[in-house]
Structure 1
Amino acid sequence: MPGVIIENYEQVPVTKENLDWADLVTLDLSLFDQPGGKQELVNQLDYAVRNVGFFYVKNFNISQEEVDRQFALGREFYALPLEEKLKYHNAKDLESGEYNGYRPAGHRILGNGIRDNVQVYNIPKFDGYHKRQQPPVLEANIKEIEAFSRKCHDEVVVKLLRLFAILLELPDEDQLVRDHQYDVKGEDHLRYMHYAARGAEENKKVGDLYSPGHTDLGTVTLLFRQPVAALQILNSEGQWKWVKPQDSTITINTCDALTALTGGLIKSSIHRVHAPPQDQAHIDRLGVLYFARPNNHVVLDPIPNSPLLQRLGLTSNAFTEIGQHLTTEQWVKVRQTQQQRPRASAKIEGSKYTYEKKDLEILPGLLATVHN
């Protein structure tokens, strides 16, 4: 708020426990503008996106000070009284697929009487189509938030889109960039995400999970480093591995829309949020994320002019196989409506979550998958 000094954000120490960490590649984006650098990055990226859908990037031209500032703003928002935060929550919006603003914890019963422990605050990209009232602590810093949001797009998302275009052998490496323009209407958003620590007994009732296995619905998700270990990925051998918080990196995962556009070549990464290890179990987990999606008008059919996709015969996807040719806007609406509508709690056995079919239906013939 005007005149209010926001204290610096201090990250907690990393876990000392010997966890089963995932082996992920790190793309050095400083290579991007060097001779042969893009092809070197594509070669690294190829295996990651075909098999796991997770990787790190470093040297992305966003300073640690800028990142920490976003964590500080997220901390300040979540420190507000609940009644103040609820001014930015609209349950009817959530149920109709609109997911900007605030979602309180406890929105859903996970199972065994335990409600979810996650608060979400989504700030849509600043494309002129998503004007929203922001809480004073964020509104007072909105220009800084916009600059950070645009940097996520320009310094990271755009570069990755060019690498994907080279991987797909597209005739123009800016083809995907044109489908993801920041100032064209779309559903990209910056997110402050807060998981409240739970006791061991409650965690056990939900399989020691904060969130069961799932995929994200857009193009790529950017997760800025935070040291409370909780993110796990399902690797190509079907094993859950912890994702290590690497210094000065962003963790990237590829998502459903990109899978659709590439006929399944690029995997939508399967991940879940586990309860933190014992030495961090008492710590709330604050995250800063950026979700990139194609512009709303983009049709999510497999890209027709990719020589690679044509050679591999990847000319259909989960949407076209049920006769659908969804735009991003249509896909986001139906998927988020399915995710956010009230539903019965899951049957939980160990860490396996089972839902009724009606709770997983996105469209007739298309069900969401819970990855156990």
Structure 2
Amino acid sequence: MTASVSGSPHAFKPVAKLNVVAFSKVLDRDPEQMNSLMTAIQTVGFFYLDISDKYSESMLNNLEECSSVMKSWFSEPDAVKNEYKTVSMASHGYKPIGSQAGTHGGRDGWEVLKTGTLEMASRWGLIPAVENHYETFSTFQRQCDYVSRMLLDRISHALGLGAESSLNRTHRGDCPSKSAVAYLHYIPMDPTGGNVGHNMHTDYGTLTLVFAPQWGLQVLYPIGPRGEDREWQWVEPRPNCAIVNVADVLHFLTGRRVISAVHRVLPLPDQHRYSVTYFLRPSDDTLMPDAEGNLINVMEWYTKKNNNYEAPAHTQDKSFLIGGLYKDGFGIIEGKGANEINVTNRTNR
């Protein structure tokens, strides 16, 4: 299978220049590819992961089938979908449109079904569409988990985190976590401004794999001679590639040596947008230093951040929404599009 992308690139500028890292070579700790990976996560927090190798073909095939099933399920009446509303602290279940703040001060314009990794393995609380295609969905989720864990292991090794400090110790397979696959559907641009996109944020967890064949994703990209300023730039969809971004927990567990990337999703003006995301998250009992340097349980960070997502835009703590990573002037990062935003703050790394 060769994954396809859609949308004209001419309407989406500027485009972020992201490193491309070949997964098959990262497995072998290829020096050139590891250097590309580490440079990306220490400067931007985003990179493309090339999974066009023969061994990844089944993963792309499973992605295609899961996406097709979910696209059909999202067309079901709201009453049907609302029977499976989010459970287990937002890591499993359905979130309807308008549950969180959007990009223009209103509510969001996306819905999502999440399948928690533990719930999937236990066949607990699955919607009929997933249950009827269980082998495909469960295999795809395991493949996402494998890719994410291999990336984490290679990052841990490259940072010199061995033995007691290894990142693998905080991502144990025998411990519950909030790792999950998210199947997302964004409605077209709401002309009334009522439900628009996915507000700017950093991800709560460790690493995020994004499969997005359509435009809409933006990253706050470093600009200027030393990367001291930032602006919204579009992330180009690429066939046979996942988009990988660093999330908050990895930023903090590594002593802030990697960047948790601020990003958002803007709706397309005339079409529905679909994407699939895998969130690798730490074991629920993991302790980490937060943005203030206080040692906290990751569940405390997760709970506070999730509650902030769901708050009205005017009451949200914008600093916390973006991981507490940028505290000087981030309130000005608001606007309608990449070319309409003036980001004048300096980042704190």
Give the TM-score, by structure 1 length.
0.76
| Aligned partner of 1:83 among 79, 82, 100 | 79
- The answer to whether the aligner puts 1:274 opposite 2:266 as a matched pair is yes
Q: Could you tell me how far apart the structure 2 residues matched to 1:128 and 1:210 are? A: 28
| Aligned partner of 2:277 among 254, 275, 289 | 289
Tell me by how many angstroms 1:148 deviates. Answer: 0.9
Q: Could you tell me how far apart the structure 1 residues matched to 2:3 and 2:73 are? A: 16
Tell me what 1:158 maps to: 149
User: Which amino acid is 2:212 matched to?
Assistant: R
User: Which amino acid is 2:115 matched to?
Assistant: I
Aligned pairs for 1:250-329 within 5 A: 250-276=242-268, 281-301=269-289, 318-320=291-293, 324-329=294-299
Deviations 1:33-89 (A, max 9, x none): 44x61x332211222111110001113643232221121122122022111100011
C-alpha spacing 1:176/1:80, structure 2 compared with 1 (3 Å): same
Tell me by how many angstroms 1:108 deviates. Answer: 3.9
Tell me if the contact between 2:245 and 2:260 (Cα under 8 Å) persists in the aligned partners: yes
Tell me what 1:229 maps to: 215
Tell me if the contact between 1:192 and 1:289 (Cα under 8 Å) persists in the aligned partners: yes
Tell me what 1:21 maps to: 15
Deviations 1:269-315 (A, max 9, x none): 01111233xxxx211001111000111112114xxxxxxxxxxxxxx
C-alpha spacing 1:269/1:110, structure 2 compared with 1 (3 Å): closer
Tell me what 1:198 maps to: 189
Tell me if the contact between 2:103 and 2:197 (Cα under 8 Å) persists in the aligned partners: no
3-state secondary structure, aligned to 1:106: coil
Tell me what 1:67 maps to: 63
Tell me what 1:211 maps to: 198
Tell me by how many angstroms 1:10 deviates. Answer: 9.1
| Aligned partner of 2:35 among 32, 43, 60 | 43
User: Which amino acid is 2:40 matched to?
Assistant: A
Unpaired runs of 5+ in structure 2? Answer: 224-229, 335-349
Unpaired runs of 5+ in structure 1? Answer: 1-7, 302-316, 347-354
Over alpha carbons, which structure has the higher Rg?
A: 1
| Aligned partner of 1:141 among 115, 126, 133 | 133
Deviations 1:157-184 (A, max 9, x none): 1221122112211234992223223342
Tell me by how many angstroms 1:336 deviates. Answer: 1.5
Tell me what 2:340 maps to: none
Tell me what 1:344 maps to: 312
Tell me if the contact between 1:165 and 1:173 (Cα under 8 Å) persists in the aligned partners: no
C-alpha spacing 1:263/1:130, structure 2 compared with 1 (3 Å): farther
3-state secondary structure, aligned to 1:105: coil
Tell me if the contact between 2:211 and 2:241 (Cα under 8 Å) persists in the aligned partners: yes
* Number of corresponding residues: 318
